[in-house]
Amino acid sequence: MSMQMIVEAPKEVRLRKAQKVLEVLWQDGERSSYSCLALRKSCACSGCARAQQVGALTLIDADVGIDRLEASGISGLQFYFSDGHYRGLYPWSYLRELADLADSQPREQVA
Ligand SMILES: [Zn+2]
């Protein structure tokens, strides 16, 4: 058995570009869906990280999408957002955490 912290790569990942939604089917049969906006909010590229450090207000287009998605097999996913932001790797464990978080919160706060 794997440790709790380790999240296996999902069975299926689908990017619905028109709906701006990412869908993930996990190995345990659990399904998660993420709005591109929610994923973009957790961007931690150098620009976003700097803004967060200085407490700057970050403006995100509520209509933000994902142009390109790359799976890094065992590790996670990489998103290229339509506004040019690129965070790098979103590990599976992080995505899973994000989904569990979203489940316990109201659907979406619009930026
Ligand atoms: Zn960013």
Q: Is residue 28 part of a domain?
A: no
Mean pLDDT, consecutive 10-residue stretches, the chain (111 aa), reads 68 95 95 94 89 87 93 88 91 91 57 51
The pLDDT of residue 10 is: 94
Start-to-end CA distance of the chain, whole Å, equals 41
Q: Is residue 77 part of a domain?
A: yes
Q: 48 vs 41, 42, 86, 102, 103, CA distance in Å? A: 9, 9, 10, 21, 25
Q: How many domains does the chain have?
A: 1
Give residue 29 CA to ligand 1 midpoint distance, Å. Answer: 31
- Domain residues for the domain of 62 are 37-103
Q: Is residue 27 part of a domain?
A: no
The pLDDT of residue 2 is: 44
Give residue 47 CA to ligand 1 midpoint distance, Å. Answer: 6
Give residue 3 CA to ligand 1 midpoint distance, Å. Answer: 31
Q: Is residue 96 part of a domain?
A: yes
Q: Is residue 42 part of a domain?
A: yes
Q: Is residue 47 part of a domain?
A: yes
Q: Is residue 31 part of a domain?
A: no
Give residue 34 CA to ligand 1 midpoint distance, Å. Answer: 17
Give residue 77 CA to ligand 1 midpoint distance, Å. Answer: 15
Q: Is residue 81 part of a domain?
A: yes
